Amino acid sequence: MESGVKAGPMRVLVTGGSGLVGKAIEHVVLQEGGKLEGEEWIFLSSKDANLVDVGQTRAVFEKYRPTHVIHLAAKVGGLYQHMKENLHFLRDNLKINDNVLHTSHEMGVTKVVSCLSSCMFPDKTTYPIDETMIHNGPPHDSNFGYSRAKRMIDVQNRAYFQMYGRHYTAVIPTNVFGPHDNFSIENGHVLSALINKTYEAKEEGTTLNVCGSGAPRRQFMYSLDLGRLMIWVLREYEEIDPIILSVDEEDEVSIKEVVDMIVKALDFKGKIHFDTTQSDGQMKKTASNAKLRRYLPNFTFKTLEEGIKMTCDWFLANHDIART
Ligand code: NAP
Ligand code: GFB
């Protein structure tokens, strides 16, 4: 995936630069020598600007005057937080997205790559899901607020292109995990929440409680793989239509299989309980990466087992600073 041909001088502003995906992009760019000559990268957190607020958004764009934006900032959480807070997920994300996209337009940003999510696809659908199906029917009821806000980014991108020829596009990742994730047991996504739960159950000699039946299936992607792919999208991908960034369909696994991998990585020997009084959420949302494969047929993803091991090692080594 050598690149650089089309890249001119770029000042890239990464919103949400302190989160799971932002830290992965930062690692690829700054630690793995991924930065090209003439590129400058700025990674923002909510401490630099609360992007729900249009004044703070404009001020931070004035300060850095980006030519390119990777827009990651969002109110993000796992299934159980969504089920309690659809209104906040809808309103915060609608505001953040409008502020970032419109300020980018006003300040002449050449390209914006925003982040959608495969949970926004219609719930009642055929599989695999692809990029043409985003607006076909209602999303799963558990996270309708976040999903509707994500879909509007795609609508807005098309409108900026239609009226102003702006090159604002988006990627659609499936479930992401890795170092710097939110390991909160209550609000985190499944993998990070279960790593923390398993760690605690091992420390305290208690049962590991898994929410739901373990039967739902997900395509998990290691954050650094997503980081590499998003940098490629920023430099090389010319379409306004979004692109699904995901591991292959065959790499989809059940939550039960994920539990087995975490238990092995953390060497947990205690009892495991599947709490079927808790929601399973969407049973599956199998996405096709055929479009990605047409562009990058040889891209290799880290195996889930390896990624889980590396995330568990990171969590153990960074327990004091990890978000819990
Ligand atoms: P994350 O770890 O929770 O990070 C969220 C980032 O957004 C943080 O940098 C946070 O800043 C920032 N942020 C939140 N509210 C903000 C506000 N009001 N103003 C400014 N910044 C704000 O989330 P992530 O997993 O990296 O998600 C990044 C993007 O990927 C999101 O757009 C998300 O929807 C998308 N995505 C994630 C997944 C997944 O499985 N994680 C899957 C598909 C798509 P602070 O650190 O200062 O709080
Ligand atoms: O990562 P997760 O919360 O989100 O995974 P989704 C939920 C699946 O893992 C459900 C099971 O089947 C849960 O029953 N699970 C088991 C757990 N134990 C746990 C646990 O301790 N915590 C959590 N959180 N789940 C999200 C969307 O859906 O996908 C978001 O709600 C986001 O909008 C994300 O886009 C990528 O995959 O169900």
Residue 299 has pLDDT above 80, yes or no: yes
Mutational pocket test of ligand 1: of 76, 91, 96, the residue with most ligand atoms within 8 Å of the beta carbon: 76
| Per-residue model confidence as pLDDT tens digits over 213-249 | 999 999 999 999 999 999 999 999 999 999 999 999 9
130 domain-assigned = yes
Under the banding of pLDDT at 50, 70 and 90, the label for residue 168 is very high
40: domain CATH number is 3.40.50.720
Is 111 part of a structural domain of the chain? Answer: yes
| CA 10/CA 287 separation, integer angstroms | 32
Most informative mutation of 21, 75, 79 for ligand 2 (most atoms within 8 A of CB): 79
pLDDT of residue 8: 58
Average pLDDT (148-168) is 98
**Three-state secondary structure readout of 250-305:** HHCEEHHHHHHHHHHHCCCCCCEEEECCCCCCCCCCCECCHHHHHHCCCCCCCCHH
What number does the ligand 1 atom closest to the CA of 92 have? 18
Structural domain including 120 reads 11-178+220-249+286-302
User: Does some domain include residue 5?
Assistant: no
Which atom number of ligand 2 is nearest to the Cα of residue 77? Answer: 30
Tokens 């914006």 found at? 112
The reply to whether 278 falls in a domain is no
Express each pLDDT in 1-54 by its tens digit.
444 445 458 999 999 999 999 999 999 999 887 788 899 999 999 999 999 999
What gap in Å lies between CA 38 and CA 32, rounded to an integer?
17
Q: What is the DSSP letter of 83?
A: H
Whether residue 311 lies inside any domain: the answer is no
- 117 in ligand 2 pocket by Cβ < 6 Å? yes
Report pLDDT for 65. Answer: 97
Residue 20 falls inside a structural domain: yes
Question: For 66-81, how does the pLDDT look when each residue is reduced to its tens digit (9 = 90+)?
Answer: 999 999 999 999 999 9
CA 104 to chain centre: 21
164, 105 Cβ separation under 8 angstroms:
yes
Q: Is 110 among the domain residues? A: yes
pLDDT tens digits along 261-297? 999 999 999 999 999 999 999 999 999 999 999 999 9
Q: What is the pTM of this model?
A: 0.97
Total domains in the chain come to 1
Q: Find out whether the beta carbon of 211 lies less than 6 Å from any atom of ligand 2.
A: yes
Give a yes or no: residue 276 inside a domain. Answer: no
